[in-house]
């Protein structure tokens, strides 16, 4: 895509992009120095786009297929990426985990799986409180590496606009490595399958061996038929994040010279969180002006009316693939709340993509102070998601999970049975607890079984 620089763009398109400024923007930091914010934004607006309009349009097409029931979305990654965590090893292991999950899900669903990382931009977090108090000391809450530091000191917790530019560069290097891994041979289906066989050969996981053996037979069959093309060695991989920090997103919005339309170039898919999806708020207004596929988180209090108003604001044309509703009800509530929401939206004639986030409605805090989630609650919400869609006759189009490729101990349970004491062994998340590598694969095998029986 050739990108016009802003001075050549018709001013009406540009002023439309700024309409959000008149509205309330929740969850924004209090920058100490307005000049430094302007300087960072000027620098960001001069940087090349991270993603291109053609890729964004292709992802919208892929998501449209999922909304029609012909593909399945796998979206996952850290709750909050960190600048220090953007190392080659950690990025590789997260990509590897997603690729391993995708193979299993592809087999289970007998459908293409659209792979979208919560990666290369997931650096800003909404917080329930502006401040955090420890031992009588109160400091600003950590809002993600794009805003301030995690260390609990006044210097680190001060919002620093230079982080906006650093976040862009860390995203660029992360995305570069993702592109290299997924196009350069690392994603070879046979290799990914071999990793999965290694996983199920561990005695803790041999309940998944029969599914792995079926996949093995399918791959041998394909090989025997002589299938050997780029589809085996390369894969499409997209990136996404919550478009929370408008001082970062706005300078990275660009006008595509082919169409004159605006794209967010910070990531292929952008989503609006549960706390910032107010219909009259700045986030919905800003995202309504971009062509990207947009995700919207919907929690247990979301009504059919909320969903329809969000569709009217963000997708008045009801364009296939434009809107993904990411429901995060909680295992306790999903069977009560989701079926009516699905039916209400269906009856209004809309056909968004429905995806489950089985993480954010299932947070608990242990007596020892760890924020965690039980693997069984996550699985229970997933099953509730499939049940609700069966009930409403709609398509359960994907999963959105917080995960890492590392062997962390942040979520309870799974076949290795991480218990409350075990959480202390390797708890590294700076925000919400993530499924570790094995828990992520287990989840994929269980969802694949669910998808297989649904067909
Ligand atoms: C998240 O996805 O990390 C998040 C904050 O989710 P939600 O907006 O659904 O609470
Ligand atoms: Co989270």
Note whether 335 and 272 are within 8 A (CB): no
Give residue 429 CA to ligand 2 midpoint distance, Å. Answer: 10
DSSP states along 149-165: -SSSSHHHHS--THHHH
Nearest-angstrom CA–CA distance, 71 and 63: 8
CA dist 361 to 5, 123, 163, 268, 333, Å?
42, 21, 30, 25, 9
Q: Which atom of ligand 1 is nearest to the CA of 297?
A: 9
Confidence (pLDDT) at 4:
43
363 lines ligand 1 (CB under 6 A): no
The phi and psi torsions of 150 (rounded to 5 degrees) equal -80, -30
Confidence (pLDDT) at 252:
98
pLDDT digits (tens, 9 = 90+) for 41-66: 999 999 999 999 999 999 999 999 99
Residue 380 in tokens = 């229970």
pLDDT digits (tens, 9 = 90+) for 190-242: 999 999 999 999 999 999 999 999 999 999 999 999 998 888 999 999 999 99
Q: Whose CA is nearest to atom 10 of ligand 1?
A: 274
Nearest by Cα to 351 from 388, 392, 409, 387? 392
Give, for ligand 1, the residue of 27, 127, 297, 302 to mutate: max count of ligand atoms closer than 8 Å to Cβ: 297
Note whether 411 and 377 are within 8 A (CB): no
Nearest-angstrom CA–CA distance, 315 and 300: 22
Q: Whose CA is nearest to atom 8 of ligand 1?
A: 273
Q: Which residues of 30-51 are buried (b: 16+ CB within 10 A; e: fewer)?
A: ebeeeeebeebbeebeeeebbb
Note whether 377 and 397 are within 8 A (CB): no
360 lines ligand 1 (CB under 6 A): yes
Helix (H/G/I), strand (E/B), else coil: 22:
helix
Domains for the chain: give ranges and CATH numbers: 3-187+234-454 (3.20.20.70)
CA dihedral 410, 415, 416, 420 (to 10 degrees): 50
> Rounded to the nearest 5 degrees, what angle is found at the Cα of 371, between the Cα atoms of 369 and 374?
120
Q: Is the pLDDT of residue 6 over 60?
A: no
Residues whose CB falls within 8 Å of the CB of residue 131, separated by 6 or more in sequence, listed in order: 138, 139, 140, 141
Average pLDDT over residues 353-364: 98
Q: Is the pLDDT of residue 79 over 50?
A: yes
Confidence (pLDDT) at 11:
65
Average pLDDT over residues 29-37: 96
Give, for ligand 1, the residue of 357, 381, 410 to mutate: max count of ligand atoms closer than 8 Å to Cβ: 357
Give residue 226 CA to ligand 1 midpoint distance, Å. Answer: 44
pLDDT digits (tens, 9 = 90+) for 361-409: 999 999 999 999 999 999 999 999 999 999 999 999 999 999 999 999 9
DSSP states along 54-106: HHHHHHHHHHHHHHTTS-EEEEEE-SS--STT--HHHHHHHHHHHHHHHHHHH
Burial (CB count <10 Å: 0-12, 13-18, 19+), residue 230: exposed
Give residue 80 CA to ligand 2 midpoint distance, Å. Answer: 7
Parallel/antiparallel/unpaired status of strands 137-140 and 238-242: unpaired
Parallel/antiparallel/unpaired status of strands 137-140 and 131-134: antiparallel
How much is the CA Rg of the chain, to the nearest whole Å? 21
277 lines ligand 1 (CB under 6 A): no
Average pLDDT over residues 131-148: 98
pLDDT digits (tens, 9 = 90+) for 155-173: 999 999 999 999 999 999 9
Confidence (pLDDT) at 155:
98
- Which ligand has the nearest atom to the CA of 358? 1
CA dist 91 to 94, 182, 347, 417, Å?
5, 12, 42, 26
Residues counted in the chain = 455
Helix (H/G/I), strand (E/B), else coil: 281:
coil
Note whether 118 and 95 are within 8 A (CB): no
- Which ligand has the nearest atom to the CA of 373? 2
pLDDT digits (tens, 9 = 90+) for 315-334: 999 999 999 999 999 999 99
Read off the pLDDT band of 8 (50, 70, 90).
low
- Model-wide pTM > 0.85: yes
Note whether 140 and 148 are within 8 A (CB): yes
């Amino acid at each position: 895509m050739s990108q016009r620089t802003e001075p050549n763009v018709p001013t009406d398109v540009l002023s439309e992009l700024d309409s959000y400024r008149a509205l309330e923007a929740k969850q924004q930091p209090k920058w100490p120095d307005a000049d430094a914010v302007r300087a960072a934004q000027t620098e960001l607006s001069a940087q090349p786009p991270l993603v291109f309009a053609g890729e964004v349009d292709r992802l919208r097409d892929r998501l449209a297929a999922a909304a029609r029931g012909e593909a399945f979305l796998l979206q996952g990654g850290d709750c909050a990426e960190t600048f220090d965590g953007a190392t080659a090893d950690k990025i590789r292991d997260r990509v590897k985990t997603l690729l391993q999950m995708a193979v299993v899900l592809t087999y289970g669903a007998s459908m293409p799986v659209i792979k979208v990382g919560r990666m290369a931009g997931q650096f800003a977090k909404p917080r329930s409180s502006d401040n955090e108090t420890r031992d009588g000391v109160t400091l600003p809450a950590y809002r993600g590496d794009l805003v301030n530091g995690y260390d609990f000191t006044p210097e680190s917790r001060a919002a620093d606009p230079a982080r906006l530019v650093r976040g862009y560069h860390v995203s660029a290097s992360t995305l570069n490595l993702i592109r290299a891994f997924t196009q350069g041979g690392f994603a070879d289906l046979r290799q990914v399958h071999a990793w999965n066989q290694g996983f199920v050969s561990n005695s803790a996981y041999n309940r998944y061996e029969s599914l792995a053996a079926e996949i093995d037979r399918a791959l041998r069959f394909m090989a025997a038929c002589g299938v050997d093309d780029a589809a085996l060695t390369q894969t499409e991989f997209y990136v996404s994040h919550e478009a929370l920090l408008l001082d970062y997103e706005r300078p990275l919005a660009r006008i595509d010279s082919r169409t004159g339309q605006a794209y967010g170039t910070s990531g292929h898919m952008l989503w609006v969180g549960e706390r910032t999806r107010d219909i009259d708020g700045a986030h919905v207004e800003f995202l309504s002006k971009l062509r990207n596929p947009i995700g919207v988180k919907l929690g247990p209090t979301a009504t059919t009316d909320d969903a329809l108003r969000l569709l009217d604001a963000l997708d008045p044309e009801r364009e296939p693939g434009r809107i993904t509703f990411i429901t995060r009800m909680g295992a306790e509530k999903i069977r009560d709340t989701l079926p009516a929401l699905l039916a209400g939206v269906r009856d209004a004639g809309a056909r968004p993509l429905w995806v489950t986030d089985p993480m954010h409605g299932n947070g608990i805090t242990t007596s020892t102070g760890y924020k965690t989630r039980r693997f069984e609650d996550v699985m229970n919400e997933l099953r509730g998601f499939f049940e609700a869609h069966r009930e409403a006759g709609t398509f359960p189009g994907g999963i959105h999970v917080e995960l890492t490729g590392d062997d962390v101990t942040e979520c309870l349970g799974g076949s290795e049975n991480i218990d409350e004491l075990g959480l202390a062994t390797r708890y590294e998340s700076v925000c919400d607890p993530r499924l570790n590598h094995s828990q992520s694969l287990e989840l994929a095998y269980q969802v694949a079984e669910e998808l297989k029986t649904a067909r």
